Every structure is written in structure tokens, then in C-alpha cells.
Amino acid sequence: MTALLVLVSTHGAAWAQEILIEDYPDVIDARVSATPERARLIIDLTGATEFAIVSLDAPQRIAVDVKAFDVKILAPADVAGRGLVSSFTVELSEKGRARTTLTLSSPAQVQQAYVLKAVADQPARLVVDLIPDTPEHFAQKVAADLSASIANRGQAPGAMPTDPGALGNSAISRPLVVIDPGHGGIDNGASAPNGVHEKNITLAFAVELQKVLIATGRFDVALTREDDTYLTLDQRVDLARQNKADLFISLHADTFQQPEIRGASVYTRDENATDVLDKVLADGENRYDMVAGFAVPRATPQVMDILVDLMRREMRKNSFQAAESIVRQLEPSVPLRKFPVRQADFFVLQAPDVPSVLVELGFLSNASDIANLQKSEWRDRTVNALARGIADYFDSIQKDVVASQ
């Protein structure tokens, strides 16, 4: 379902020059972060491209090839952190192909790999996540890549790109979850009396949630921002829509006038917000964009035919189902607001074609919530509950599809 996954097929003409090499994107940055449990490679590009991944031995490496015209970085920075990957290089290894070679400190395998298209000032990206592998399985992968490459290209993969093989098949059917950490950059969001900003809390939760969801092996997971960056609400929605996300989940921890109001809640969009307090909350959220100096251009009214209406209804139903699944899993773990599944007119939930929910993790106007939101164990608990809820949601829509056949 995730159309953003652009995988190379060596059987077809994927590497043949259907497009002029001059039109291939440039590699403009590459960075690697690593821990003993996982590593992530991010390659920034001037446009989306195709890629292939091979495992190589002596020394143990994973090479990531992308179709590219040029490599416009002098030397990549060192690996951030210590773990699976000890060093890496990026080079234009032949005309039209840039190779990033990750030297492993222990055997590793690709957990997920996907291309994100450019959105606003965010460049296109290839993201490759690695997790540990057994020496036996790694050796098998090296052998398989070698024979596939010789069969397809008549050359060893050290010299030529090859098929990502099993990765392609398993990755392509995974749903894409886009997590949106609320606020960021000049927009702090809400602030607690102790000076803690909502933008930092939402980012910490989002990064953790991504990690937990990826570890299930069921999802591809992207973040709208990975650092303290300002994004308009439109940009957040666009990222989910352009990548055809299967679920969009925006994380917040706002303030309320009544300090006694506390607990988590999950919102879906309704232009006619049912609760006056909810309306106030949603208006405040939408206003952050204005405050930050960016007017929110309301979507131009399109011709609303019956199909669009049906699609909206379907998305609304799925959004509600997602909210219910998440709340069901949050309930045993964390304090919830009264009537925790709520509707409000949040602009960030406006995508007509992506089921979208907004999670208020708690309130920065409530002392207990403030304390919780800053505890890593509370964050773990919440994030694990959110992940279970998301998995339940996908299970439930799967069942709906089966039932309607």
C-alpha cells in the first residue's frame, strides 16, 4: 500500500537508462546513527530515486546503491553514536550510481528501507534501518546477494548493484504510519510553569513510538520532523498525503484553562466540534500557525462529488476506529480524560484520504500530567500502549476487508 517504496528490480530495466542520468537526483547529505541494537542511514537527495541493497563480506558491510547523478558532499560526518555501524563512505561508484558503504562492527540486516519524497523544505530521503543479525544468516545473505548479482549482471555485487531480494517483498506490503510530533522550531507549543515546552515532549514521544512500531516489523514509520524544526500544519498533512500514509497520528500535550483537567485523549476531526472546550482547544492549536507568522490557507473548495464524499466518510470511520483502538490500549496504562474519544476541528486532521488522529498525551496545565510527561517510564508505557492500539486498528480494518469480501 505504501507507494513511496521504490525498489529496484534487476529483472526488468530498472537500472537501464530510461531516464537520462543527468536527470537523476544528486546525493546532498548522508548521515548514520548507531546503537548496539540498531542503526539508521539517512541519505538526503534532490529528488526521489531507486535503490538497491547488498550484504558484503570480508569485512562485513552493507552497501546501499542509489541512482544518482552526483554526490555533492565532500566527506560524510562520523557515525553518530556507537554500535552496529563503525564507519561509512559515500562515493559515485560509477556513472549514475552512488554507493554508501556501511562497515559493520557486527552482523546486521535491513529492517526497513524506504524513500520519502521531498516536501516543502525537506529534501527527498532514503531511510535504511538496520538491526542485528546472526553470523549464519548474514553469511547466507552475502551468498544469496552474490549469486543473484552474478545471475543478473554477471558480476559480483561488490562491483554492481543487485536486487534487494526478500526485502522488497516483505517491505512493500507494510502499512505506512506517519507520526507528527506537534509544534517545533519557533513554535514551542504549550509550556509548563517549569519551562518545559510541548514541542520537546511530543518529539521525544514520537521518536520512541517510531522505534516501538518499527520493532514490530509490521509497519514503515516516518516522522514529520525528526528534530526541533518548524513545520506548518499544511506541510505535516502534505507529507502524509503525498506518501499515501495509511495512518497519520499527531502528538500533543496542550494546556487548558482549568488546571484540574488531566489525562490522555484521542481526537478525530469534526468540523462541528461537539464540546465547547474542545473547540477552544482546536482553535488554539490552529492558531499556532498564525502566531508563527504563517497564515493557514484553507483548502480551496473543490468540486465535491459523491466519490470524494464516500472517501471522506470512509476515512472518518477509520479515523474513529483508530481512535477507539488506541484508547482501548491506553486505558489500562495511563490516566484518561472523561470520554477520551473526542471530536474537534483540528486543521492537522484535515487530510480527506488519510485516516488521522490527534493524541493529547496529557496537559501541561496539570501538575500530575506535567510530572508524568517528563518521566521516561511513563513515556515507555504510553508509547507501548499507543503501538498496541495502532496494531489493533490495522488488525480491525483487515478484518473489515475480509468480512466484506
| DSSP letter, residue 222 | E
Residue carrying C-alpha cell 490552529: 286
Task: Show the CA angle centred on residue 362, arms to residues 356 and 363, nearest 5°.
Answer: 115
Site string for Zn ion, 98-137 (x = CB under 5 A): ----------------------------------------
CB of 231 to Zn ion, least distance (A): 13
246-265 positions binding Zn ion, by CB under 5 A: 252, 254
Site string for Zn ion, 47-86 (x = CB under 5 A): ----------------------------------------
How far is Cα 209 from Cα 384, in angstroms, rounded to an integer?
Answer: 7
CB of 299 to Zn ion, least distance (A): 21
Q: Is 83 left (phi over 0), alpha (psi -120 to 50) or beta?
A: left
CA atoms within 13 A on the CB side of 340: 24
What 3-state class would DSSP assign to 225? Answer: coil
CB of 206 to Zn ion, least distance (A): 12
Q: Which is nearer to Zn ion, 238 or 289 (CB)?
A: 289
Helix and strand numbers (H, E) in the chain are 8, 14
Q: Which is nearer to Zn ion, 76 or 182 (CB)?
A: 182
Site string for Zn ion, 166-195 (x = CB under 5 A): ----------------x------x------
Q: CA separation (Å) from 106 to 134, 167, 370?
A: 9, 20, 40
The burial class, CB within 10 Å (0-12 / 13-18 / 19+), for 348 is buried
CB of 249 to Zn ion, least distance (A): 13
**Are residues 6 and 115 in contact, defined by beta-carbon separation less than 8 angstroms?**
yes
- Considering only CA atoms, give the Rg of the chain: 22
How far is Cα 352 from Cα 307, in angstroms, rounded to an integer?
Answer: 11
How far is Cα 97 from Cα 43, in angstroms, rounded to an integer?
Answer: 13
Q: Which is nearer to Zn ion, 140 or 258 (CB)?
A: 258
Q: Which is nearer to Zn ion, 65 or 234 (CB)?
A: 234
CB of 252 to Zn ion, least distance (A): 3
Q: Which is nearer to Zn ion, 78 or 227 (CB)?
A: 227
Q: Which is nearer to Zn ion, 92 or 336 (CB)?
A: 336
C-alpha cell at 337: 480524560
Q: Which is nearer to Zn ion, 252 or 337 (CB)?
A: 252
For Zn ion, which residue has the nearest CB?
252
Residue carrying C-alpha cell 504549550: 190
**Are residues 49 and 15 in contact, defined by beta-carbon separation less than 8 angstroms?**
no
Q: Which is nearer to Zn ion, 221 or 364 (CB)?
A: 364
CB of 394 to Zn ion, least distance (A): 26
**Are residues 88 and 34 in contact, defined by beta-carbon separation less than 8 angstroms?**
no
Q: Which is nearer to Zn ion, 67 or 379 (CB)?
A: 379
Site string for Zn ion, 205-244 (x = CB under 5 A): ----------------------------------------
Helix-helix angle 198-215:376-403, to 10 degrees? 50
CB of 81 to Zn ion, least distance (A): 30
Q: Which is nearer to Zn ion, 96 or 182 (CB)?
A: 182
| DSSP letter, residue 78 | P
C-alpha cell at 398: 483487515
Q: Which is nearer to Zn ion, 242 or 286 (CB)?
A: 286
Q: Is 27 left (phi over 0), alpha (psi -120 to 50) or beta?
A: beta
How many positions of this chain bind Zn ion (CB under 5 A)?
4
26 in contact with Zn ion (CB under 5 A): no
Site string for Zn ion, 141-170 (x = CB under 5 A): ------------------------------
Q: In what order do the strands lie in the sheet with 247-252?
A: 220-223, 176-181, 247-252, 356-360, 264-269, 336-344
CB of 254 to Zn ion, least distance (A): 4
CB of 89 to Zn ion, least distance (A): 41
CB of 233 to Zn ion, least distance (A): 11
- Name the site residues for Zn ion (rule: CB under 5 A): 182, 189, 252, 254
